[in-house]
Amino acid sequence: MTSERQFVEPEAFYFKPDGSGCPNNAELPVLIYPGVFEKGRVPIADNFENAFRDNAWMGCWRWSVYPYHHYHSDAHEALGIADGSARLKLGGSQGEIFDVFAGTLIVLPAGTGHKNLQASTDLLAVGAYPYGQGQYDTHRAGSMELSAAIANIASTPMPETDPVYGAKGPLMRLWGGK
């Protein structure tokens, strides 16, 4: 049960290729939803996992965020910050720095560079991918031919739902989905 969920309109951030190996996604924005879940009787990690599964975002994992620039060329990614806090750099080496806290949801379109710059010792992230994108690739910045990455990004299917709010969630409107 996800009773601690709040409706939050996400902030949208666009990133062009960074020139150092992160293709990013010039067509779709990164979405940051601050404070989707609050601490309560159900742990925030469980709330994120339940919401992701309810909305067909699969392959849930619990861990952290890699401390180097990386991206997935063939999958969109939802990152729920379940505990602690982190300073993340999104958009590759020329991107922007974001401070995120427990309860924040970040949705990264395919190709978006992301890196953990600094985190609290209790950082816990929950990740998931839209249905059918669970066999995602992971590339360090510069490890994949840019034209191949861009082709993969362009062929990555749009999600059918927002990872927390479902078929009528903000992602659908902001990404031009169903």
pLDDT-derived band at 4 (thresholds 50, 70, 90) equals: low
Of 73, 76, 77, nearest to 145 by C-alpha is 73
Scanning the structure block, which residue is given the tokens 């010792």?
121
What the chain holds in terms of domains, given with CATH numbers, is: 11-159 (2.60.120.10)
Instruction: Give 89-135 pLDDT, tens digit per residue.
Output: 999 999 999 999 999 999 999 999 999 999 999 999 999 999 999 78
pLDDT-derived band at 154 (thresholds 50, 70, 90) equals: very high
pTM of the model: 0.94
pLDDT of residue 81: 98
